[in-house]
Chain A
Amino acid sequence: MTSPGGTPLPWTAPAQRAVTGSRLSFRSRNRSGRGPADAPDGHDTLPARGPARRPRIRPSGRTARRETRRRAPWALWVPGVIAALFLLLPLVGLLVRAPWSGLPDLITEHDVREALFLSLETATAATALSLVFGIPLAWLLARTRFPGRSLLRALVTLPLVLPPVVGGVALLLALGRRGIVGQHLDAWFGITLPFTTAGVVVAQTFVAMPFLIVSVEGALNSADRRFEDAAATLGAGPWTTFRRVTVPLVAPAVAAGAALCWARALGEFGATITFAGNFPGSTTTMPLAVYLALETDSDAAIALSLVLLAVCVAVLAALRARWFPGVRRLLRGRASRETPLTVGPEEGTR
């Protein structure tokens, strides 16, 4: 394999490689005989391959986006600015008209503090309930197959678009004293939900839990399931895998969903007033207190609104911070997160 002069030639190396046996015969057989055309694709045999589903088109897409950003047309600038003003103006109005001098007194009033703490407590309880029951449901929707799963997924997220008042009425019919379940709760256990603080939590959970489910289920669907395979080969059963691998992998989405869920519960009005009524101290949450105050004392209403606004801004700031990267993604790209709601082609084929 050397030239007559004894020096190795650059092109001898490939030839040498080819002669070393199995390599050559293997390749040539493949070319002549049953070639790759007969062979099924790799993903036929490995359905859970993550990277195959995500083609790498990012770099080009990113540059293209940067270019369009540089030359934004006026036709988009003008309505965009109007939209921004429209969204900001009411907040400005709130700040301008706020009775700043009397604010400390208004805020420290007993009723206000009562409503604020009730709101914080119930929203936190609703979020906790949503986590305890919502994450398992998201997992079931994402990881198991059962008849009617697609329909269930659609129905579960219905409260996202349902008018909250309708939700409140529905809750009354189901869990009210004469409701289909509520009458038994009352008769057998003496539990009454409507017009109680527990009822507030139920109403808030009903309205807010879908935010968590959608967020977590989307993350579970896009998570690389081969990590769960890896956990299984290391001796982890399904429950251990769920706790120590699956949940940590989707933790950003859980945090994001929980934050949105909490914010939604905090602002809940329609379902709460319908199902739980408006009883100061037990069911009058902040939004209800704002509405109530507006009828009698508009300064108090503004002060209450400012408190809620401050809480929401604080939450938003926390969301934007580093420890909630999932929320930023969620807030930035809602459209991509919406997909799990619809029945995609991949659901059908599985």
Chain B
Amino acid sequence: MTAGIPRTAHTGLPETGMGMGMEPESGTAAGGLDARVTVRRGQFVLAVDLHVAQGETVAVLGRSGAGKSTLLRTLAGLLPLDEGRITLAGQVLDDPAQRRFVPSERRPVGVVFQDYLLFPHLRARDNVAFGLRARLGQGRRHARDRADSWLERFGIGELGDRRPGALSGGQGQRVALARALATEPRLLLLDEPLAALDSTTRGEVRTFLRTVLPTLSAPVLIVTHDPTDAEVLADRTIALEAGRVAQA
């Protein structure tokens, strides 16, 4: 699926004044993510060019404070761009120059948060059904059935009645992934998917992600500080340092 798509991740960005204007980015498949991200936070500037093709998994590697989470938040629509443009599957999600900003709740983007952020007051099933009801507007019963089949698919069908507090780290990860994928996102973002786990569970979840991620047609972006995770899970790695791409 990724064949024929030039894997262009711009390494050096111009320091100031994005000289790229509004010309369309080349080398992006119709279903892919195309992002030119500039965010300023006081002294800190995040300036990243990012292209993720459909079916491709890209890891963004960097230390804490490198801007990984900021990048992820801009893509998820939780943080508006200061400059640049985010296009997903041909749809412009954020373009401050044209005053376009699609808020988080209307972006076809699924996010697995660092410590999963499963709603503690809802059972695992209802956590997964939440997005089905909110984004896809499904009825309660239908959404629950769908949620159950997602849990089933991830091998935790019997845990639907549990609340997040009664789930292990690995199980929580699976519920979080099911919840994110159930809304049929056209981009999946994983924020430090393995950081919250102990070493035993890490291996298990890593294996799990390795089997699931390649089956997705949507582009996947993994944010991590662990080079091993990046290598194992992603087709391609981008290193982020102090808000810039350091290595493609």
Residues of A participating in the B interface, judged by any CB pair closer than 8 Å: 22-23, 25-26, 29-30, 33-34, 36, 38-42, 44-46, 51, 224, 226-227, 229-237, 240, 244-245, 248-249, 251
**Set of chain A residues within 8 Å of B24, measured between Cβ atoms:** none
- Asked whether B202 is an interface residue with its Cβ less than 8 Å from the other chain, the reply is no
**Set of chain B residues within 8 Å of A224, measured between Cβ atoms:** 117
**Set of chain A residues within 8 Å of B122, measured between Cβ atoms:** 248
- Classify chain B's interface size: 35 or more
A45–B130 touching, CB < 8 Å: no
**Set of chain B residues within 8 Å of A240, measured between Cβ atoms:** 134
- Asked whether B179 is an interface residue with its Cβ less than 8 Å from the other chain, the reply is yes
Given contacts A235-B134, A245-B119, contact A42 B69 (CB under 8 A): yes
B242–A233 touching, CB < 8 Å: no
Given contacts A232-B78, A234-B135, contact A45 B69 (CB under 8 A): yes
Chain B nearest CB from A42 CB (Å) reads 5
Given contacts A26-B61, A30-B63, A36-B65, contact A235 B131 (CB under 8 A): yes
Q: Given A40-B41, A235-B183, A244-B134, 13 other A-B contacts at CB below 8 A? A: A26-B239, A36-B63, A39-B65, A40-B44, A45-B41, A229-B76, A231-B130, A231-B134, A234-B183, A235-B105, A235-B136, A236-B105, A248-B122
- Asked whether B111 is an interface residue with its Cβ less than 8 Å from the other chain, the reply is yes
Q: How many A-B residue pairs have CB under 8 A?
A: 123
- Asked whether B109 is an interface residue with its Cβ less than 8 Å from the other chain, the reply is yes
- List the B residue with the shortest CB-CB distance to A30: B63
- List the A residue with the shortest CB-CB distance to B104: A232
Interface of A is mostly: helix
**Set of chain B residues within 8 Å of A45, measured between Cβ atoms:** 41, 44, 46, 65, 67, 69-70, 73
Shortest 5 CB-CB contacts between residues of A and residues of B: A235-B135, A39-B65, A234-B131, A232-B104, A45-B70
**Set of chain A residues within 8 Å of B25, measured between Cβ atoms:** none
Given contacts A40-B41, A40-B43, contact A233 B130 (CB under 8 A): no
**Set of chain A residues within 8 Å of B237, measured between Cβ atoms:** 22
- Asked whether B247 is an interface residue with its Cβ less than 8 Å from the other chain, the reply is yes
- With the chains together, A278 CA to B228 CA distance in Å? 77
- List the A residue with the shortest CB-CB distance to B64: A42
10 A-B residue pairings within 8 Å (CB atoms): A29-B246, A30-B63, A38-B242, A40-B42, A40-B65, A224-B117, A230-B119, A233-B111, A234-B135, A235-B106
Chain B nearest CB from A8 CB (Å) reads 19
**Set of chain B residues within 8 Å of A235, measured between Cβ atoms:** 105-106, 131, 134-136, 183
- With the chains together, A41 CA to B105 CA distance in Å? 28
Flag B210-247 by CB within 8 Å of A: 1 or 0 each: 00000000000000000110110000010101100011
Chain A nearest CB from B160 CB (Å) reads 17
- Asked whether B121 is an interface residue with its Cβ less than 8 Å from the other chain, the reply is yes
- Asked whether B120 is an interface residue with its Cβ less than 8 Å from the other chain, the reply is yes
Given contacts A234-B183, A244-B130, contact A46 B109 (CB under 8 A): no
**Set of chain A residues within 8 Å of B65, measured between Cβ atoms:** 36, 39-42, 44-45
A26–B179 touching, CB < 8 Å: no
- Asked whether B103 is an interface residue with its Cβ less than 8 Å from the other chain, the reply is yes
B239–A230 touching, CB < 8 Å: no
Chain B nearest CB from A314 CB (Å) reads 27
A23–B105 touching, CB < 8 Å: no
- Asked whether B50 is an interface residue with its Cβ less than 8 Å from the other chain, the reply is no
- List the A residue with the shortest CB-CB distance to B109: A233
B73–A46 touching, CB < 8 Å: yes
Chain A nearest CB from B78 CB (Å) reads 5
Chain B nearest CB from A49 CB (Å) reads 9
**Set of chain B residues within 8 Å of A245, measured between Cβ atoms:** 119
Residue with the highest number of chain A CB atoms closer than 10 Å, among B130, B136, B237, B239? B130
- With the chains together, A245 CA to B46 CA distance in Å? 31
Flag B102-140 by CB within 8 Å of A: 1 or 0 each: 011111011101010101111000000011001110000
Given contacts A44-B42, A45-B67, A45-B70, contact A233 B76 (CB under 8 A): yes
B179–A234 touching, CB < 8 Å: yes
Q: Which of B117, B130, B242 contacts A236 (CB 8 A)?
A: B130
- Asked whether B77 is an interface residue with its Cβ less than 8 Å from the other chain, the reply is yes
- List the A residue with the shortest CB-CB distance to B66: A39
Chain A nearest CB from B220 CB (Å) reads 15
- With the chains together, A22 CA to B62 CA distance in Å? 12
Flag B45-60 by CB within 8 Å of A: 1 or 0 each: 0100000000000000
- With the chains together, A236 CA to B134 CA distance in Å? 5
Given contacts A36-B65, A42-B65, A233-B76, contact A22 B247 (CB under 8 A): yes
- With the chains together, A231 CA to B131 CA distance in Å? 8
- With the chains together, A37 CA to B135 CA distance in Å? 41
**Set of chain B residues within 8 Å of A51, measured between Cβ atoms:** 115
- List the A residue with the shortest CB-CB distance to B107: A233
Chain B nearest CB from A144 CB (Å) reads 16
